[in-house]
Amino acid sequence: METKSTLRNLVGIVVGMFAFGWLLVPMYDVFCEITGLNGKVTGPSFLSEESKAITEQRELLVQFMTHNNESMPWFFDSEKSQMRVLTGNQYEATFVFHNTTSKEMVGQVIPSVSPGRGAEYFHKTECFCFEQQVLAAGERIELPVRFIIDPALPKEIGSLSLGYTLFDITDRVKSENKLANL
Amino acid sequence: MSTVVETHDHGHHGPAKGLSRWLFTTNHKDIGTLYLWFSFIMLFTGGAMAMVIRAELFQPGLQIVQPEFFNQMTTNHGLIMVFGVIMPAFVGLANWMLPIQIGAPDMALPRLNNLSFWLLPMAFGILISTLFMPEGGPNFGWTFYAPLSTTYAPSTVNFFIFSVHVMGVSSILGSINIITTIFNMRAPGMTLMKMPLFVWSWLITAYLLIAVMPVLAGVVTMMLMDINFGTSFFNAAGGGDPVLFQHVFWFFGHPEVYIMILPAFGVVSHIIETFSRKPIFGYESMVYAMASIAILSFVVWAHHMFTVGMPLAGELFFMYSTMLIAIPTGVKVFNWVATMFRGSITFETPMLFSIAFVALFTIGGFSGLMLAIVPADFQYHDTYFVVAHFHYVLVPGALFGIIAATYYWLPKWTGNMYDETLGKLHFWLTFISVNITFFPMHFVGLAGMPRRYPDYALQFADFNAIISVGAFMFGLTQLLFLFIVIKTIRGGKQASPEVWEGAGELGLEWTLSSPAPYHSFSIPPQVK
Amino acid sequence: MSYIKKVLTKLIFVMPLLVSAAVFAESSDYNMSVGVTEVSKSIFELHMVIFWICVAIGVIVFSIMFWSLWKYRKSKGAVAADFDDNFWLEIGWTVAATLVLVWMAVPSTQVMVEAYDDAEGEINILITGHQWKWHYEYLEDEVGFFSNLSTSQEQIDGEVPKGEFYLREVDEPLVIPTNTRVRFLITGNDVIHSWWVPDFAVKQDAIPGFINTAWTNVPEPGIYRGACTELCGIKHAFMPVVVRVVEREEYDDFIAQKVTLAEAERLLTSKNWTKEELMERGEQFYNTNCAACHQANGAGIPPVFPALVGSQVVMSDSAKQIEILMEGVQGSAMAAFGDSYSEIDIAAVITYTRQAWSNGDNGDGVIVTPKDIVDYKNKIDL
């Protein structure tokens, strides 16, 4: 009957669009990685062969900002708030973390590069933001970020700002561990 | 409500008596009536919330409600008007008119139709009950951005999410029913390009609904998971992104606003054609225009997000695609005017509302075009300029379409003519108050008043007072509309089958008696 | 009857447009502000151009429509024609509409490119949206401060008359120099906020975990007022933006002052504070940062915002009170104040609450000094 096939098609569209809604999540991540749309920089990244071939270097300003989300009580700061760097060279910046509370806590640093389209040129070869940080009560550590600015960085971008937001994920980790130990 | 008319010889019984009739009916006319009454009740509910908002905003300072409650009022006013008034009213009109207009005896799936309706009182019962819970109802805007609606929401947000899911199911089932009916149950001779424009508008709207309501379901499920199951779709701490919420929401949200206006386009085409006594100008273009609007509506969503930090290329793309939608919309306005041009026009109430629709919706379209211009939008975004725009397209837009349709088809539904003098009074009072209420919002928005503010700086006071007065006038006037509708149901001048002069040629509904028989077109008509 | 209709409709549709168009040009009660930067002026001009194009299209379409409604009234004997299409006319107006839109898109793109400049800033300021205040940090100079609404609750509640800058004034405005390219880096601390200054035409959302950029270059000194433009909770309307633009010299002085103050705070931490000094400082801090929830009289709004008057912790457990202030309370709205405020402020507000209202008479009256807070931070440093 006609109606049955129409119904099948329509229900198919509904199910398909529901799936599409969920697909938008990974699609968004991929799109952001490619375009640097939201300044998100995920894992360690390195210069491509083409970029390595560029010998011309330019100077630019790299700024570091730290921010504690909500009321994350740790002391979190960069030793230097900015550096003048040359594209293509590797640099290191140090950050201090101090858990000033009486309990062990877990923190996660989320990076954001501004302008967003500069994100793909900001290669972090080593960063504390790749992992969770566990600090015991009162513990204080210093951690580095090692980075190279891609020589292919467009001329219009005059400076790059790397903002780090520190989140308290102690509860989230605790519940994940509880689940894992079941 | 349709009265029972036994005009056929199959020996069918009339409708059941009493409450059972309404609970268990599978008759498209009854279900249409249920949707329309539900929507009317919701109009006054959401309208009462608007009155609370405008009472608080009448003067600077916090006099009547605290911000906690004000935010619940703005949120629920929006949710109720969008999901509880405009959408159900158009579904009610669809239920009543689509089978008749295509010469079918009923909808394709009558029992599913009943379920689609009864899900709505359930969904809104849940939503409105949250206002009475200790933590209060949803307070994060009808657009419920994360993380305000996830991490920072009251625990009643879970009821809100459930309620949205139920509304979504209702819409999806209803749309499946509508498409199936239109494709499979047209009378012989009614090709697609002979279908009435209201039928076309609903065919297109129903496709939009089944495409985007599942996406809404997805996004509220993601919210539910972030809130209760520790996921991080919209939480940066876990690697997610609050802006992802906005992208997925508006991917639903933009087609949603076209869902709310397309059926009005269909209705207004019918009414202007009838009262100009001239066929609608450019029937094919009207169909293609509605289809283009629907397709384009999928690629404009981020014009709601111009200040979110998108790269230049993205902002420009969405500016261009949004400006593009103005073209098919403009074509429709030109065609309505061309229908009036060299017609033979009379100004009954449905026509008055339709003329006002064309003019005022166009004004809403102009402010929409201004909003599309990205750099200018930096100054308009999240101000009352936006509030003015969407109220112009939704109130003198969609709502006037619904009111016009009600006056137009009420004689067919009840068999009685409504009181024309009262109808005109209703029109003029509504028209004047709508403009007093919403036109000054352009000014305060441009002057810098943000939206969702329970209190404001002194320079916005005068216009806010005017707006509030207009709003109260508008609200009270709709009580007159209620009176007119009830009066017409109870009696009035007997309506002929044709009702409106010359309408007999314009649609199958005007070949039926007034009121239309409980079962119509059990034998399909021949369409030439 | 229909003639009156025609006149009335013309009056009601067309007049408002014309009147408002006439008034529009310069009045700031009706129209967008021209602003003081090149970008804001370009945007204003673009806005007016688009507006006038819309008015022109509206006048044309509405004239034809209202003329038709009047001329083709059945009551005056009009007989309907029977045409229902005209291929070339439809093509014509579709093409015309497209051309008008392209014509609008060109200047729009130009202004957009102008606004979207990514060049380096001479001064960089990190702006963080909090519930419900802004935080400004000058990155080069490493000084920062909160900017809170300074309009009193009495004005909001209507107990005293409202001041001229009702809801548009703050205790600490952002200060920037004239003729300097200032780059704003904008983020959110909790929910999404949005930072808007109409006179600069700068508006960017403040999103937790992400940094957005904007820039401005203001040639004219003055005070410019803006607002938070993204729903962020109950005090969304109560966290205005105020920017004071001053000549370069005055700006340098301002920064120098802030640096000195910060240094002085650090020194002050180790001095011996008297109870009265702590109380005075603490009361001010309390009214700015605590009274919104715990109320000026300490009664709170239980159960969500506990009362401090008669509270067991406030009256007899100063160690616990320090911990609450420093680390917040899990699962509640009580934030950790330790990372945002100085040891002096924390000590002062704790001391104040322990002495204020009836707590002074009924509680243990323990005084907490800035040194105690420093010790707290270090004592647990194993």
> Does residue B171 have an active-site annotation?
yes
pLDDT at residue C18 in the model: 61
Tokens of C174: 């952002």
Distance CA B128, CA B131 (A): 6
Q: Is the pLDDT of residue C26 over 60?
A: no
Chain C partners of B324 at a C-beta cutoff of 8 Å? 101
Given C124, C128, C328, which is nearest A73 (Cβ)? Answer: C328
Q: How far is A104 from chain C (nearest CA, A)?
A: 11
pLDDT at residue C19 in the model: 61
**Residue range B401-408: average pLDDT?**
98
pLDDT at residue B114 in the model: 97
Of B36, B140, B39, B23, which Cα lies nearest the Cα of B85?
B39
Per residue in A75-117, pLDDT tens?
A: 899 988 889 999 989 999 999 999 888 889 999 999 998 888 8
Amino acid (one-letter) located at C204:
Q
Q: Is the pLDDT of residue B12 over 60?
A: no
**Residue range B229-242: average pLDDT?**
91
Higher pLDDT, C292 or B250: B250
Q: Is the pLDDT of residue C303 over 80?
A: no
Contacting residues for B261 by C-beta, under 8 A, at least 6 apart: B361, B393, B394, B397, B398, B401
Per residue in C182-199, pLDDT tens?
A: 999 999 999 999 999 999
Instruction: Yes or no: say if C360 and C279 are a contact pair by the CB < 8 Å rule.
Output: no
Higher pLDDT, A82 or C108: C108
Question: Among B29, B54, B56, B106, which one carries the catalytic annotation?
Answer: B106
Amino acid (one-letter) located at A178:
K
Per residue in B149-179, pLDDT tens?
A: 999 999 999 999 999 999 999 999 999 999 9
CB contact under 8 A, B314 and A3: no
Instruction: Yes or no: say if B442 and B29 are a contact pair by the CB < 8 Å rule.
Output: no
Distance CA C225, CA C167 (A): 10
Question: Among B54, B186, B332, B391, which one carries the catalytic annotation?
Answer: B332
What SS3 class is residue C145?
Answer: strand
Contacting residues for A159 by C-beta, under 8 A, at least 6 apart: A60, A61, A62, A63, C120, C121, C124, C183
Amino acid (one-letter) located at A50:
E
CB contact under 8 A, B247 and A28: yes
**Residue range B493-507: average pLDDT?**
90
Cα dihedral value B113, B116, B118, B119, nearest 10: 170
Interface of A with B in 75-114 (CB under 8 A): 108, 110
Instruction: Yes or no: say if B293 and B325 are a contact pair by the CB < 8 Å rule.
Output: yes
Per residue in B409-454, pLDDT tens?
A: 999 999 999 999 999 999 999 999 999 999 999 999 999 999 999 9
Q: Is the pLDDT of residue B1 over 50?
A: no
**What percentage of chain C carries pLDDT values higher than 90?**
59
Given C74, C232, C234, which is nearest B345 (Cβ)? Answer: C74
Q: Is the pLDDT of residue C380 over 60?
A: no
pLDDT at residue A114 in the model: 85
- Comparing B516-525, C115-124, C233-242, C309-318, the range with the smallest average pLDDT is C115-124
Q: How far is A160 from chain C (nearest CA, A)?
A: 8
Disruptive mutation site among C112, C187, C304 for chain B (greatest number of B CBs within 10 Å): C112
pLDDT tier for residue C127 given thresholds of 50, 70 and 90: very high
Let me know the angle formed at the C-alpha of C369 by C368 and C371, rounded to the nearest 5 degrees.
130
CB contact under 8 A, A25 and B108: no
Average pLDDT, chain B: 94
pLDDT tier for residue A34 given thresholds of 50, 70 and 90: confident
**Residue range A121-139: average pLDDT?**
89
Tokens of C57: 């299209």
CB contact under 8 A, C84 and B279: yes
pLDDT at residue B6 in the model: 43
Given A39, A116, A169, which is nearest B237 (Cβ)? Answer: A169
Higher pLDDT, A125 or B84: B84
Handedness of CA C17, C22, C28, C29 (dihedral sign): negative
Average pLDDT, chain C: 89
Q: For residue C276, how far is the Cα from the chain centroid? A: 35
pLDDT at residue C382 in the model: 33
Flag whether residue C79 sits within 8 Å of chain B, measured between CB atoms: yes
Q: Is the pLDDT of residue B7 over 70?
A: no
Higher pLDDT, A41 or C136: C136
Q: What is the pTM of this model?
A: 0.91
pLDDT at residue B169 in the model: 97
pLDDT at residue B100 in the model: 96
Q: What is the DSSP letter of B84?
A: I
Q: How far is C318 from chain B (nearest CA, A)?
A: 30
Question: Among B30, B56, B226, B256, which one carries the catalytic annotation?
Answer: B256
> Does residue B277 have an active-site annotation?
no
Per residue in C306-356, pLDDT tens?
A: 899 988 888 888 889 998 988 888 777 788 887 788 889 999 999 999 988
**Residue range C11-27: average pLDDT?**
58
**C182-188 and C123-130 as β-strands: parallel, antiparallel, unpaired?**
parallel
Q: What is the DSSP letter of C162?
A: P
- Could you tell me the strand order of the sheet in which C202-206 lies? C174-177, C241-246, C222-228, C193-197, C202-206
Interface of B with C in 418-457 (CB under 8 A): 431-432, 435, 439, 443, 446-448, 450-457
pLDDT at residue A49 in the model: 80
pLDDT at residue C14 in the model: 59
**Residue range B315-331: average pLDDT?**
96
Interface of C with B in 221-240 (CB under 8 A): 226-238
CB contact under 8 A, A14 and B210: yes
Q: Is the pLDDT of residue C4 over 70?
A: no
Cα Rg of chain A (Å, integer): 22
pLDDT at residue B67 in the model: 94
> Does residue B258 have an active-site annotation?
yes
- Comparing A9-18, B179-188, B204-213, C22-31, the range with the smallest average pLDDT is C22-31
> Does residue B30 have an active-site annotation?
no
Phi, psi angle pair for C127, to nearest 5°: -110, 125
Distance CA C61, CA C17 (A): 13
Output the CA–CA distances (angstroms, integers) from residue B334 to B286, C17, C138, in the order listed: 10, 20, 55
Tokens of C142: 């490493």
> Does residue B303 have an active-site annotation?
yes
Chain C partners of B458 at a C-beta cutoff of 8 Å? 162, 164, 166
> Does residue B269 have an active-site annotation?
yes
Distance CA C148, CA B421 (A): 56
Instruction: Yes or no: say if A60 and C120 are a contact pair by the CB < 8 Å rule.
Output: yes
**Residue range C11-26: average pLDDT?**
59
Residue B307: is it exposed, middle or buried by C-beta count within 10 angstroms (0-12/13-18/19+)? buried
Q: How far is A7 from chain C (nearest CA, A)?
A: 36
Of B433, B435, B439, which Cα lies nearest the Cα of B477?
B433
Higher pLDDT, C25 or B288: B288
Q: How far is B7 from chain C (nearest CA, A)?
A: 36
Chain A partners of B170 at a C-beta cutoff of 8 Å? none
Question: Among B142, B145, B194, B277, which one carries the catalytic annotation?
Answer: B142
Contacting residues for C85 by C-beta, under 8 A, at least 6 apart: B281, B282, B283, B284, B285
pLDDT tier for residue C22 given thresholds of 50, 70 and 90: low
pLDDT tier for residue C160 given thresholds of 50, 70 and 90: very high
Q: For residue B155, how far is the Cα from the chain centroid? A: 29
pLDDT at residue C27 in the model: 55
CB contact under 8 A, A172 and B210: no
